[in-house]
């Protein structure tokens, strides 16, 4: 698992985490936008893959779909109920050598503390996704 983060003058603080998992990009995408949604987006079973579509999770995360390239890239606004601002979350997939690298990149975080909190979240998400997808690959 790799992580990267930095303050960015145009986008506030940002954070990113990458994890390589077994499976084709197509299969990993299908999992992430299907039964795997609650593992990364929040407690929900649906995310409309249409630009501008709103979503809400059972654990009080709201946002809108900003862009979709099926199987490759998804950008959403992402806002937990306790925040007073939106952030931008990008989920990207890249396939190589029979595996797929999942990248989470979140921008527009307001502080070092928020960045630290989200880094912990995305590291946990990446680890959970790796475990689930390894089990499914067996």
Region 69-89: mean pLDDT is 96
Per DSSP, the residues of 10-29 read TTEEEEEEEEEEES-HHHHH
Q: What is the mean pLDDT of the chain?
A: 92
Paired tokens of 127 = 């680890």
Domains in the chain with CATH codes: 15-131 (3.30.530.20)
Q: With pLDDT > 70 as the criterion, what percentage of the chain qualifies?
A: 92
Q: Is the pLDDT of residue 13 over 70?
A: yes
Q: What is the pTM of this model?
A: 0.90
Picking from 6, 28, 10, the residue whose alpha carbon sits closest to that of residue 99 is: 28
* pLDDT band, residue 137 (cuts 50/70/90): confident
Using the predicted structure, report yes or no on whether residue 125 has a pLDDT greater than 90.
yes
pLDDT of residue 6: 54
């Amino acid at each position: 698992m790799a992580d990267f983060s930095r303050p960015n003058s145009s986008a506030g603080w940002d954070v990113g985490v990458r994890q390589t998992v077994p499976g084709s990009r197509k299969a990993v995408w299908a999992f992430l936008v299907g039964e795997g949604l609650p593992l990364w987006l929040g407690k929900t079973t649906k995310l409309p893959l249409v630009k501008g579509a709103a979503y809400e999770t059972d654990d009080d995360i709201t946002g809108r779909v900003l862009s979709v390239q099926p199987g490759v890239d998804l950008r959403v606004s992402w806002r937990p109920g306790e925040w007073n601002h939106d952030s931008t979350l990008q989920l990207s997939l890249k396939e190589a050598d029979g595996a797929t690298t999942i990248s989470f990149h979140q921008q527009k975080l307001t502080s070092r503390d928020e960045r630290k909190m989200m880094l912990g979240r995305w590291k946990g998400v990446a680890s959970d996704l790796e475990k689930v997808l390894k089990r499914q690959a067996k």
